[in-house]
């Protein structure tokens, strides 16, 4: 008899329409790979050498103001530029290129160099949500912008260059690959069923409970059925809406609350500043879209301790993503963790 907790299988991701291979029996194999030590987090509240701390100098001679809440600025090494001329090139039918224009920004979450999302006060996190809403609404309405990606890389492991709490926004004249896949799946689902794909998915998950990590009146955090990263989590708004700009004020508080509770569980998992890439998926430029359902993805690399991470290599790069622990086992671990940050425990 096929048993999801024992037997190798593949699971379908209806958002990207791709499969992930799950090998639950492999969690028994011995580990002899790379062991990394994460140094304890001993950052000062202000670091005179940090290019994100208040009053410090950034590249190009820019000076940060003495900001007290959030602070946004144009990325000094932007990957996309607003004035790139439109154009295409096709030297051969197989070789296509298109110009991409865009606006890249950095948002500091707090003047405090030593904090993480998990350690920020709920009111300050609500301020971060308000800043995201403001920038999403403005950029999404900017002529020439087709999509606004808000994301945070946290930790050296995820290629983050600076531990000061911050995120980036890359807004582009094109809709990027992952968003295009999710758009197509959600549009088709909505045309067929007249409901959003994630509204139906979330309704099932809240009833079932096996993959739910935590929830409040406005958002749920869960390990998706199709998770690739060991402790991957999705945040899904309980009310279907297509973008951050549609959040009510209560829902903004709900988002701040679920962010704090999810990242606190993450930090508590291995009692470390848990590395991850995080970001929102929401409707491409245009008015509210009933097919699109606002959500966020956490992609964290740590696997079984603060020193053992998952790499997407070999089979994952050449064939398909693969995981060992099941989504249900990961959700159970996260659900059982405290919502009091380990650093705040006496
Ligand atoms: P990470 O979040 O991935 O570490 O990136 C930080 C961003 O900050 C990165 O995109 C920008 C880099 O271009 N940056 C500035 O805009 N000004 C600076 O003085 C240094 C870094
Ligand atoms: Zn700093």
Q: Which two tokens stand for residue 328?
A: 């249900």
Pocket test for ligand 1, best of 52, 61, 74, 76 (most atoms within 8 A of CB): 76
Distances (CA, A) of 179 to 45, 225, 253, 280: 36, 19, 26, 10
Element (H, E) at 190: helix 177-193
User: Which residue CA neighbors atom 6 of ligand 1 most closely?
Assistant: 161
Domain boundaries of the chain, sorted by first residue: 13-339
Q: Which residues are bridge partners to 28 per DSSP?
A: none
Annotation marks residue 166 as catalytic = yes
The string of DSSP codes covering 102-132 is: EEEEEEES-S-TT--GGGS-HHHHHHHHHHH
Closest CA to 222 of 320, 110, 328: 328
Q: Would you state the pLDDT for residue 230?
A: 94
313 three-class SS: coil
Which pLDDT value is given to residue 244?
98
Out of 2.60.40.10, 3.30.428.10, 3.10.20.90, 2.40.40.20, which CATH number does the structure's domain 13-339 have?
A: 3.30.428.10
Smallest-distance ligand from the CA of 170: 1
327 CA from centroid of ligand 2 (Å): 35
Q: If you measure from the C-alpha of residue 30 to the centroid of ligand 1, how many angstroms do you get, rounded to a whole number?
A: 39
Of 56, 59, 107, best ligand 1 pocket probe by most atoms within 8 Å of the beta carbon: 59
* pLDDT of the chain, 346 residues: tens digit per residue: 999 999 999 999 999 999 999 999 887 665 555 556 667 778 899 999 999 999 999 998 999 999 999 999 999 999 999 999 999 999 999 999 999 999 999 999 999 999 999 999 999 999 999 999 999 999 999 999 999 999 999 988 888 789 999 999 999 999 999 999 999 999 999 999 999 999 999 999 999 999 999 999 999 999 999 999 999 999 999 999 999 999 999 999 999 999 999 999 999 998 888 999 999 999 999 999 999 999 999 999 888 888 788 888 889 999 999 999 999 999 999 999 999 999 988 6
CB 21 within 8 A of CB 10: yes
């Amino acid at each position: 008899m096929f048993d999801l907790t024992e037997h190798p299988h593949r699971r379908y991701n209806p958002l990207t329409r791709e499969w992930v291979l799950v090998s639950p029996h492999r969690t028994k194999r011995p580990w002899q790979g790379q062991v990394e030590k994460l140094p304890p987090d001993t950052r000062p509240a202000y670091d005179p050498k940090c290019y994100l701390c208040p009053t410090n100098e950034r590249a190009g001679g820019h000076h940060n103001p003495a900001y007290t809440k959030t602070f946004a600025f144009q990325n000094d090494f932007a990957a996309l530029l607003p004035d790139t001329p439109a154009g295409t090139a096709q030297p051969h039918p197989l070789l296509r290129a298109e110009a991409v224009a865009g606006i890249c920004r950095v948002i500091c979450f707090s003047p405090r160099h030593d904090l993480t999302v998990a350690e920020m006060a709920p009111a300050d996190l609500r301020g971060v949500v308000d800043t995201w809403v403001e920038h999403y609404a403005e950029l999404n309405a900017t002529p020439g912008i087709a999509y606004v990606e808000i994301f945070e890389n946290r930790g050296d492991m995820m290629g983050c260059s600076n531990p000061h709490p911050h995120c980036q926004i890359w807004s582009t004249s094109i809709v990027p690959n992952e968003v295009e896949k999710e758009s197509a799946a959600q549009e088709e689902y909505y045309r067929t069923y007249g409901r959003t794909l994630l509204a139906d998915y979330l309704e099932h998950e809240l009833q079932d409970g096996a993959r739910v990590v935590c929830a409040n009146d406005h958002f749920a955090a869960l390990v998706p059925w199709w998770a690739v990263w060991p402790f991957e989590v999705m945040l899904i708004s309980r009310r279907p809406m297509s973008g951050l700009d549609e959040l009510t004020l209560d829902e903004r508080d709900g988002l701040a609350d679920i962010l704090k509770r999810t990242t606190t569980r993450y930090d508590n998992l291995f009692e470390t500043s848990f590395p991850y890439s995080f970001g929102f998926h929401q409707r491409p430029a245009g008015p509210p879209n009933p097919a699109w359902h606002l959500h966020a993805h956490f992609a964290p690399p740590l696997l079984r301790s603060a020193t053992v991470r998952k790499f997407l290599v070999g089979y994952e790069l050449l064939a398909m993503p693969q995981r060992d622990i099941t989504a249900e086992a990961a959700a159970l671990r996260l659900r059982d963790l405290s919502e009091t940050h380990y650093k705040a425990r006496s």
